Amino acid sequence: MPPCLPALTGISPAALATWLQEAGHPAFRASQILDWIWKKKVGSFDAMTNLPAALRANLAENFRLNPLAHTHTQGAADTTRKFLFRLHDGRYVESVLIPANPALYGESSDRHTLCVSSQVGCAYGCKFCASGLAGFARNLDASEIAGQVLAAERLSGDRVDNLVFMGMGEPLANLDNLLAAIALITGPATLHLGARHLTVSTAGLVPQIRRLAEHPQQLRLAISLHGASDEVRDKIMPINRKWPLAVLLDALDHWITLKKQKLTLEYILIAGINDTQQQAALLAGHARRLRAKVNLIPYNTVDGLEWQRPTETHCRAFLQTLERAGVTATLRFEKGHDIDAACGQLRLKQETAEGLVSAAL
């Protein structure tokens, strides 16, 4: 495969200004180009009508404008939309646009959260997750991460108000590209979304949690905990064998000393695995220690995996145990359940159909 031109959605304002200077174009063109890309969200260089034709031709010779090609949208009854994107090397990633919860924002709210992928596949092998079923292919670069936001806004016509990096992949395993993308997403000359509206989710990569804690922006952090003891977490999250709960909790203690934003503990409830009252009591203890809120999510069925979601009554009993212990907790039944909204399912079906991954998975 021939080398691929870099995408403009991955170029920082400073790097673009440097390129313009070296190519013999005036520096003020940088702000015009950035405005076309990030504010007007144009789909071609020809649409940048206030740029000289020679500059547009020069840009087209040196850059791609779109790092992602939209191939499919799945819509759910609750207006959740899943977008499938093809990358330059033929692999696929997904993003999920989720409407606001009326209980939090009111029936008339038009807030939208975008769940963004950071890798093609995942190497961490959580036993309940579709993202890792076909293994890990590669990291996404900054243009491919930030480009999902632009593409989702262009396709939907909606402004993305919140981003969660908990789509396909482990964001902290791709930390350098993630931080480069965040700089573009939050930059005043680019997308300009406030850092407090960005949540990074991790299965528990301890060194990277400590490094991200030192990052100056007030990003939010969500921990995919899914087990309140090492015995349970070891069964479903192989990463726990490398960084067990005691080590993870120590890193999170460090995080909360440096960040103002409240931690979130994500906990997928899986019938007969992690949904006992004993696990609820242990989870409450961890949440109190970290002054964290807990987000309970009944398991979203994945083709090819044996896990089942508990009954709604069982889930609510688990929630009540947390609340009685003084923990702030929510029970969120997955949006988009009718469109295979669990991260990685649509991509897995597409890549299996094209023979990019084994049909046996």
Residues tagged active-site:
94, 343
Question: Hey, what are 283's tokens?
Answer: 């989870």
Cα dihedral 303, 306, 311, 315, rounded to 10, equals -100
Which of the 8 DSSP states describes residue 173? G
Which of the 8 DSSP states describes residue 36? I
Query: Given the DSSP bridges, would you call strands 81-86 and 119-121 parallel, antiparallel or unpaired?
Result: unpaired
| Residue 255: closest CA among 289, 278, 285 | 289
3-state DSSP assignment of residue 200 = strand
| Residue 337: closest CA among 73, 80, 71 | 80
CA distance 333 to 15: 43
Question: Hey, what are 361's tokens?
Answer: 């998975």
Residue 268's Cα: distance from chain center in Å?
A: 16
C-alpha count within 13 angstroms, C-beta hemisphere, residue 250: 7
Residues in the chain: 361
> 11 burial class (0-12, 13-18, 19+ CB within 10 angstroms)?
buried
